[in-house]
Amino acid sequence: MKENPKHIRISEYNYPLPDERIAKFPLPMRDQSKLLIYRHGEVSEDVFTSLSEHLPAGSLMIFNNTKVIQARLHFRKETGALIEVFCLEPIQPNDYVLNFQQTEHAAWLCMIGNLKKWKDGPLRREMTVKGFPITLTATRGECRGTSHWIDFNWDNPEVTFADILEVFGELPIPPYLNRDTEESDKETYQTVYSKIKGSVAAPTAGLHFTPRVLDALTEKGIDLEELTLHVGAGTFKPVKSEEIEGHEMHTEYISVSRSIIKKLIDHDACAIAVGTTSVRTLESLYHIGVTLANNPEATEEQLRVKQWQPYETECDVRPVVALQKILGYLDRHGMEALHTSTQIIIAPGYEYKIVKAMVTNFHQPQSTLLLLVSAFVKGNWRTIYDYALSHDFRFLSYGDSSLLIP
C-alpha cells in the first residue's frame, strides 16, 4: 500500500446538507428514484428503472440479502420511565440464527436509551406472542464501551426470541430521519430480496430494486448473486476525531457461500457491488485471501479483517489467487460458506481489488461511507455531490441512487 489514510482530516469530507434534502419517506414506487451516473469522471442522470442500460452484459452483480430486525424493545418501569433496549448483536449464543431460535433465554449486546432511569433490577413486560401470554424480563450485565450485556428471559418454551422481536420489537429506522417508525417502514425499509435476519439498519442502496429491475438485469445477461453482511448500528456512528486514526470501526458479521467465491473467480474477481455493505464484504474477501496466502493454516480468529489491515500488509497477491485461497480453505475444512467478521475501513489511499462499479445512495457529511466513495472515485466525490445537490436529488437512506464507474 502506498498511502496510509490514518491522518486524513474528516473535516475535508464535509458538505452542506439542508434538512429538506434528507428524504424522510421513500417514493411511492421505489424504482422511480433518480439515478446519478458517474462514469470515468462524467456525470449524468436517469431513472433507476433504467439501471440495466448502463451496465455491461455478462457482468456479476452482488447484493447483500440481510434483513433488518425489529431490534428496538421498549419497557416501562413502575415509576413510568420509558427505557429503550436496542439489540445490536447476539452474545449468547453469538450466532444470529441460533440466537433467534432460542426459547426462554437469549443474551445480546444492547444500547440503552434513558439509561440513567434504569438504576437496578430487571425490566419486565407482559405480552401475548403467538397466542401465549408471556413475561419478558431484561437484566443488565456488564458495560462494554457504549453498550451493555443484556440477558432476556421469558417463561414459555413455545416462543422463540425471533417471535418476540417480531411482535414486540420496533424497526430501527435511521436517527437522522427525526421521526418515529411507522407501520409502512416495515415494508419500505427492507429490500425486496432480504432473507437473512440480523441487521439493525437496511443496506439502503438495495431499497431501489424491484422485481422488474431485477428481471431487466437478468435479461441483459447480468449475473445476480447474494452474500450477507449484518449491518450494525455503528454504520451511523459519526467520526468524532479530527483525524480518522481516532475512529474505531464497528465489527460486522459476514457470510459468503462457496458458490459465490467460485462465481467471483469465474468473473476474474470483478464485481458490481450493490451498496457499501457489499463493497466492504467483497473487499474484505480479498484481504482474507491474502492472509491465507501468507499463512494457509490461519485460524478462524486470524481471518477476521482488522480496521487498518489493508494498509499494513503487502497486497501483491492477485485477486483471483486470493479468492482461490479462500476456496481451498473452505474445501480443507469441509465448509459450504465462509463465516467471519470485518472491521475494514475503506478510505482514500485504499486500492480496490474486486469492486469495479458500485450502486450506492448519497451519504452523510463526514461519514466513513463518504470516505469509501471518495476512495472509489479517486477523490472526485465533490463533483458527484455538487451535481446531486444542484439537481434536486434526495439524500440518505430513503433518498435517490447513484451508479459509480471510476
Residue pLDDT, tens place only, 286-331: 999 999 999 999 999 999 999 999 999 888 999 999 999 999 999 9
Count of CA atoms in the C-beta half-sphere (13 A) of 203? 34
Tens digits of residue pLDDT in 108-118: 999 999 999 99
Which cell numbers hold the place of 230?
449484518
Look at residue 238 in the predicted model and tell me its pLDDT: 78
Per-residue confidence (pLDDT) for residue 92, from 0 to 100: 95
What distance lies between CA 288 and its chain's CA centroid? 19
Cell numbers representing residue 309 in the block: 489491515
Angle between helices 319-332 and 258-266 (to 10 degrees): 150
Question: What pLDDT, on the 0 to 100 scale, is given for residue 236?
Answer: 66
The 10s digit of each residue's pLDDT in 189-234 is: 999 999 999 999 999 999 999 999 999 999 999 999 999 999 987 7
Provide CB contacts within 8 A for 121, sequence distance 6+.
none
135-188 pLDDT tens trace: 999 999 999 888 999 999 999 999 999 999 999 999 999 888 989 999 999 999
- 152-159 — which CB contacts under 8 Å span 24+ positions? 152/105, 152/106, 152/107, 152/108, 153/104, 153/105, 154/104, 154/105, 155/104, 156/103, 156/104, 156/129, 156/132, 157/103, 157/104, 158/103, 158/130, 158/132, 159/103, 159/129, 159/130, 159/132, 159/134
Distance from C-alpha of 62 to C-alpha of 264, rounded to nearest angstrom: 10
Query: In the chain, what are the domain boundaries?
Result: 5-67+187-404, 71-170
Q: Which three cell numbers stand for residue 266?
A: 469465474
Here the cell at position 56 is: 455491461
* pLDDT bracket for residue 120 (50, 70, 90): confident
Dihedral over Cα of 311, 316, 318, 322: its sign: negative
Q: Beta-carbon neighbour count of residue 1 at 10 Å? A: 14
Q: Please spell the DSSP secondary structure of 172-200, one letter per residue.
A: ---GGG-S---TTHHHHTS-TT--EEEES
- Find out whether 252 and 276 touch, Cβ atoms under 8 Å: no
Residue indicated by cell numbers 467460485: 262
Q: What is the mean pLDDT of the chain?
A: 95
Whether the pLDDT of residue 237 is over 80: the answer is: no
Residue 155 CA to its chain's centroid (Å) = 33
Q: Are 354 and 264 in contact (CB under 8 A)?
A: yes
Query: Which among 367, 377, 379 is positioned nearest to 402, based on CA atoms?
Result: 377
Given a cut of 90, is residue 235 above it in pLDDT?
no
Burial (Cβ within 10 Å: 0-12, 13-18, ≥19) of residue 113: middle
Residue 159's SS3 state is: coil
CATH topology for the 5-67+187-404 domain: QueA-like (3.40.1780)
Rounded to an integer, what distance in angstroms lies between the CA atom of residue 298 and that of residue 294? 9
192: CB partners within 8 A, 6+ apart: 209, 210, 211, 214
Burial class (CB in 10 A: 0-12, 13-18, 19+), 16: exposed
Q: How far apart are CA 50 and CA 93, in angstroms?
A: 44
Q: What is the pLDDT of residues 23-82, one digit of tens each?
A: 999 999 999 999 999 999 999 999 999 999 999 999 999 999 999 999 999 999 988 999
Q: Which three cell numbers stand for residue 133?
A: 401470554
Residue 3: pLDDT over 70: no
- The DSSP bridge partners found for residue 42 are 39
The confidence score (pLDDT) of residue 1 equals 43
C-alpha to C-alpha distance for 176 and 288, rounded to whole angstroms? 34
Q: Which three cell numbers stand for residue 1?
A: 500500500
Instruction: Tell me the pLDDT tens digit for each residue of 69-118.
Output: 999 999 999 889 999 999 999 999 989 999 999 999 999 999 999 999 99
Q: What is the pLDDT of residues 335-350, one digit of tens each?
A: 999 999 999 999 999 9
Look at residue 15 and tell me whether its pLDDT is greater than 60: yes
In angstroms, rounded to a whole number, what is the distance separating the alpha carbons of residues 41 and 377?
Answer: 8
DSSP 268: T
